[in-house]
Amino acid sequence: MGSRAALAGGIVLGFAIVLLAGAVVLSMASGGSVAVTLPPPSGPDASVPPETMLSPSPTEAPPTPAVTLVPSPSGSPAATDVTDGLFGVGQPAPPLVVERLDGGTIDLADLRGRPVWVAFTASWCPPCRDEYTTMESFALRYAESGLEVVTVHVRDDPAAVRALVDELGITFPVGLDPDGTASRDWRAIALPIHFWVDADGIVRDGALGGVGPVAMAAGLQTILPGVEVTPFPTPTPGPSEPGVSPGVSLPPVVQPTPSPPPSPTPAP
């Protein structure tokens, strides 16, 4: 009698499961969702909660990602979004207080109200050395526009930095970051790395790796509104001769051919 009851119960349970599975399939086919509740178990596992939801609970929120990337129209993260996040574009620049090579300190807060170009660099880095003369050219050309250029040498030998600065004739402030604290605060993940900070202390652009004058001019343009920034200095025309308009060529000067001296007359 007991075996017949168990058999009948199994048939009923199996029939119920088939009906529930059919309901799930029909619901998915129609684009809807369904929360299925299984019948309470029997036997030694009876302590398991009777209702086991196959669909997530509506009160559970998905975990918040650590980094949020703005998707591009194609669905993949846009390159500008990634780089802007790397350099902190649109965010206030981190504090920067470092020892100055010539003595004293460089404090970015003291430069508020002026556009500042901050570059983390090192004397042992070939691309860093190559950029120095170009940066000096920009610093001199746009000094009247209020531009401040600051380089920070990360874990570098002060004697080597001094030799490099003297060799290249650098005039803008050079800082030292002996323990790498400033580079960590600015997330300088590689050298050289550039940050362009506007007069309000907001990072407007950044660049990683050895960059040329075109990229430097583009970064400067973001912090020098109203100023036409050019990658290369405008050549200065040479002095023209008095009374001659520029662009007018003079005819060639023809020197007269000297006459040969007379032959001496032989003595009689």
Alpha carbons 36 and 21: distance in angstroms, whole number: 9
pLDDT higher for 214 or 73? 214
Give the pLDDT confidence of 219-237 residue by residue, as tens digits: 999 999 999 999 999 776 6
Residues in contact with 83: Cβ distance below 8 Å, sequence separation at least 6, in sequence order: 89, 206
- The residues of the chain that CATH labels 3.40.30.10 are 87-221
pLDDT tens per residue, range 69-123: 333 334 444 445 556 788 999 999 999 999 999 999 999 999 999 999 999 999 9
Architecture of domain 87-221: 3-Layer(aba) Sandwich (3.40)
154 with 124: CB under 8 angstroms?
Answer: no
pLDDT at position 125 over 90: yes
User: Token pair of 48, please?
Assistant: 């398991």
* Contact of 166 with 87, CB cutoff 8 Å: no
Residue 244 confidence class, pLDDT cut points 50, 70, 90: very low
The model's pTM is 0.60
